[in-house]
């Protein structure tokens, strides 16, 4: 039994969600020499579900190697990655404000999928799961999109929005896991943690 885990994610939301289910954790973040963004490159016509599971696995490989390199105490390592997909098109993090406006114009009035993969390694054991949810946006005017992008909230987020922020006023309906849309599906995460001996 481990009394804590490592969270290999820079997302403050994932840390808050782990705290919500009573999981003690320490951050295990990439050092500046690691090119974490390079792991997120889409390969050709890769299906969104396969993409998010592959990227999460690569992030976990990098985190486990980091743990060994730093000589830190052994404990399970958790990684997660979230992707937004409109049909088969993967909508990643916006490159700039113009890109954020373009992505939000695509999502306006549409229903899209949010896929979050979670992977945990404990010793030699690795477990993983993918949560899939659906989010329906109301039609957004150009001025609403512009105002939302100006808030800065879309930057650094897959699909250029955060469900727990201002975008909520444009979301008509959600089906699936609210915490999964935020970036860490708690039902699946708790089941994976229990399977490697972490109480939650």
Residue 166 CA to residue 168 CA, distance in Å, equals: 5
Query: Token digits for 28?
Result: 């295990």
- From the list 35, 81, 96, 99, the catalytic residue is 81
Query: Token digits for 43?
Result: 């390969």
Neighbour-count burial of 46, counting CB atoms closer than 10 A to its CB (0-12 exposed, 13-18 middle, 19+ buried): middle
Residue 159 CA to residue 165 CA, distance in Å, equals: 13
Known catalytic residue: 81?
Answer: yes
What DSSP state is assigned to residue 96? S
3-class DSSP assignment, residue 154: coil
Which residues carry out catalysis?
81
């Amino acid at each position: 039994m481990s009394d804590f885990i490592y969270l290999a994610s820079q997302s403050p939301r994932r840390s808050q969600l782990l705290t919500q289910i009573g999981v003690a954790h320490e951050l295990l973040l990439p050092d500046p020499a690691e090119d974490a963004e390079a792991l997120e490159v889409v390969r050709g016509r890769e299906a969104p579900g396969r993409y998010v599971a592959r990227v999460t696995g690569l992030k976990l490989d990098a985190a486990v190697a980091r743990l060994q390199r730093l000589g830190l105490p052994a404990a399970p390592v958790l990684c997660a990655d979230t992707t937004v997909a409109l049909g088969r098109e993967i909508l990643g993090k916006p490159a700039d404000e113009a890109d954020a406006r373009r992505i939000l114009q695509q999502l306006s009035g549409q229903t899209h999928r949010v896929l979050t993969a979670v992977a945990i390694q404990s010793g030699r054991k690795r477990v993983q799961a993918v949560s899939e949810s659906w989010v329906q946006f109301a039609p957004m005017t150009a001025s609403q999109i512009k105002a939302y992008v100006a808030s800065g909230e879309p930057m650094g987020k897959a699909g250029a929005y955060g469900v727990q922020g201002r975008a909520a006023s444009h979301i008509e309906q959600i089906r699936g896991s609210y915490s999964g849309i935020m970036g860490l599906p708690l039902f699946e995460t708790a089941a994976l943690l229990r399977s490697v001996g972490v109480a939650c």
